[in-house]
Every structure is written in C-alpha cells, then in structure tokens.
C-alpha cells in the first residue's frame, strides 16, 4: 500500500481502563497495523460496556479513521458487549472475513471459537471505515491483523479509497 491510512485502536477492558492491568494487546495492534500502512495515534482505553465502546467508535470515526480495530469484549461474559456496541455502526457486515479470523485462531486454540467479533464497513463511500472486533489476547490480535492487514487496500479501494477515487496500484 503506497499511502498511509488513518486508523484507530480501541482497547475495551475494565481492568486495563482502571489501571489494574497493563494493555499489551492494543499497542501490539497499533504496531502490526503500522506494518500494513495504517497509522494509529494513541491507543484509546475504555471500560467494557456498550456506551463506552459506542462513544470511542464515534470519536474515532469523527477523527477520520478509515480502519478501526477494537481489542477485547468479544467473548461471552456478561460485560463482553463490544459486538453489540459495534453492530449499529455497520452498514454491511463482512462475515467471510470474520470466518477467516476464527479459522486462523482455531489452528492455535479451540477458544477462538468463543469470539463473537464482527467485521464490517460503516458505509459504501469514500468516507466509510472498516471496523473489526479483535479478541483481547495478543494471539487474537495477531490473527485478526494477519487476516485483515493484506485486505485493507482492497477494502478501501472498494469503498472509494482515501481520496474518493479508486487506488492506483
């Protein structure tokens, strides 16, 4: 990818947001995304919960992020509500990519099958963004970005690219 794409990483974790645990997965996502031409500023830390995630997603999109990765909150505990917070932002879900992510994870651990992470786009135009829910583990983050990283240029081209015109490769 010749140009850099504005992105955002949102870590969703009660323990990380309270300072009880260090966020290792969000910074890893930022680092790996950079290898795919996605520029992420500071990783945003929010507690679990629909309102917190919705607010962070709204802020990332308003700031112009074209690729937004949430990290955490995709499991089945009562506080794992990241998919519920994400779904209203998605005009089109991309279940094939979500399936690819789970399949990659299942090669390493059966726990990958517990993820409910969504993948989708916020619209179908030049300002639309790709939103991906990654699990909170470092392995889950690697699996997600290993799948979506190479697809980012094509997804954004399909949406109209950063400048509204298809990318010229």
Q: What CATH number has the domain bearing residue 31?
A: 3.40.980.10
Q: Check residues 39 and 164 and name the one with the higher pLDDT.
A: 39
Backbone angles phi, psi at 126, to 5 degrees: -65, -20
pTM for the full model? 0.92
What total of structural domains would you count in the chain? 1
Per-chain mean pLDDT for the chain: 92
For 31-62, the pLDDT digits (tens) are 999 999 999 999 999 999 999 999 999 999 99
CA distances from 91 to 127, 129, 130, 160 (A): 13, 10, 10, 15
- Within-domain flag for 41: yes
| More confident: 112 or 1 | 112
- pLDDT at residue 149, as a whole number: 96
Residue from 116, 117, 108 nearest 29 by CA:
117
Q: What would the mean pLDDT of 48-77 be, rounded to a whole number?
A: 97
In a domain, 168, yes or no: no
**What is the model's pLDDT at position 169?**
37
Asked if residue 101 is part of any domain, the answer here is yes
Dihedrals φ, ψ of 140, to 5°?
-65, -40
What 3-state class would DSSP assign to 44?
strand
Residue 127 is classified by DSSP as T
Work out the average pLDDT over 84-113.
95
Domain containing 60 equals: 5-160
pLDDT of residue 160: 84
Report whether pLDDT(13) > 80: yes
**Strand extents, DSSP E, the chain:** 5-12, 38-40, 44-46, 67-71, 92-93, 119-121, 130-134
Query: Could you tell me if residue 18 is inside a domain?
Result: yes
Is residue 79 in some structural domain?
yes
Q: Are 122 and 128 in contact (CB under 8 A)?
A: yes
Report, as an integer, the average pLDDT of 121-137. 95
**Mean pLDDT, to the nearest integer, of 103-128?**
93
pLDDT at 162 over 70: no
The C-alpha atoms of residue 129 and residue 102 are separated, in whole angstroms, by 21
Average pLDDT over residues 77-101: 96
Amino acid 167: pLDDT? 39
Question: Does a structural domain hold residue 26?
Answer: yes
Residue 167 lies in a domain: no
Decide if 31 is inside a domain.
yes
Task: Tell me whether residue 79 is exposed, middle or buried, using C-beta atoms within 10 angstroms of its C-beta: 0 to 12, 13 to 18, 19 or more.
Answer: middle
Q: Give the mean pLDDT of 147-167.
A: 78
Query: How far is 131 from 119, CA to CA, in rounded Å?
Result: 6
């Amino acid at each position: 990818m010749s140009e850099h794409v504005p992105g955002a990483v949102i870590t969703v974790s009660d323990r990380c947001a309270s300072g009880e645990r260090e966020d290792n997965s969000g910074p890893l996502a930022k680092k790996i995304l950079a290898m795919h031409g996605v520029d992420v500023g500071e990783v945003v830390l929010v507690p679990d919960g629909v309102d917190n995630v919705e607010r962070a997603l709204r802020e990332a999109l308003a700031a112009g992020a074209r690729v937004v990765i949430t990290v955490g909150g995709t499991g089945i505990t009562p506080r794992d509500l990241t998919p519920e917070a994400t779904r209203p932002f998605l005009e089109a879900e991309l279940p094939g990519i979500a399936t690819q992510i789970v399949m990659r994870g299942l090669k390493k651990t059966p726990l990958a099958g517990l993820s409910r992470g969504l993948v989708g786009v916020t619209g179908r135009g030049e300002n639309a963004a790709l939103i991906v829910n990654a699990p909170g583990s470092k392995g889950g983050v690697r699996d997600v970005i290993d799948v979506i990283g190479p697809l980012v240029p094509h997804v954004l081209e399909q949406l109209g690219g950063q400048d509204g015109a298809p990318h010229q490769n």
